[in-house]
Structure 1
Amino acid sequence: MMLWLLLAVHVTVAAMWLGAMGYSLFVVQPRLARFVGNDPVQVEEIHRELAHGNRWRVAALIATLWLTGIGLVWLHPGGWPLVAVKAIALLGATVLFWWVSWRGWPQRVFALPAELPALQLRFRRIAIAMLTLVALAFAAGLLLHA
């Protein structure tokens, strides 16, 4: 019973993170630029409004993935190559999230208008890397429990 509960929480949280990142990257962000006429300052203001207060939500989500993942491995050991892929991918996404939250975001908040396009492009590339890592971890988890 505990295994299924942990698995349900783990898969739900992972799907939420993966879906939210995909929606943000491929639906919301492209529309923002069109909505404000590609003005990087206005795009940045909207990004700040959308991101406000989400750091700790995502940190809690990542912590939940780590804790439930450890619990799943403890209750159902095996499949170590896939567990390693999943853990390395989640570690990579965790490190990128840390960098964005505590290093990159302050740079972005205090950036001059001329610096914004390059920073926005850098953040987009990091977001795509995070999405790829979370998708890889999700796929490894599915294969692990298939």
Structure 2
Amino acid sequence: MLLNLIAFPPPELRRLAALGLFGLSVALCWALVTPGMGPSEDMGLDKLAHTGAFGLLGAMAAIAWPGRLGAILAMAVLALLAGATELAQSLVPERNGGIADGLADVVGAALGITVVYLIRRRQVARIGSYQNM
């Protein structure tokens, strides 16, 4: 049932995913530019946190905007968000923006979008075509 909801999201779920995408993006931007927020780079979790957060954003974007054009739009928007947050971090005391963090963000977004795409592809093969795409 859950895989069907991800593969064939009804309009209400797509709207909820878009709202969640917006809310999580705002919260993430706030956390990324606030000194002292997030895991320490010393703990080795920094890149994992970046990848996981943007992976969730990518998955929510893929649910909100299904289809190839949606995936391209999601990837472009999330790559711009990754670049903007890294640039903003470089301007905040006690924070530092970096190419490696931006790359972790983009990889995470791509992974999230890909997971939803693969679920959708599997369910389409099992059940049939997606009427709303």
- TM-score under structure 2 normalisation? 0.36
Give the structure with the higher percent helix: 1
State the structure with more CA Rg. Answer: 1
- TM-score under structure 1 normalisation? 0.34
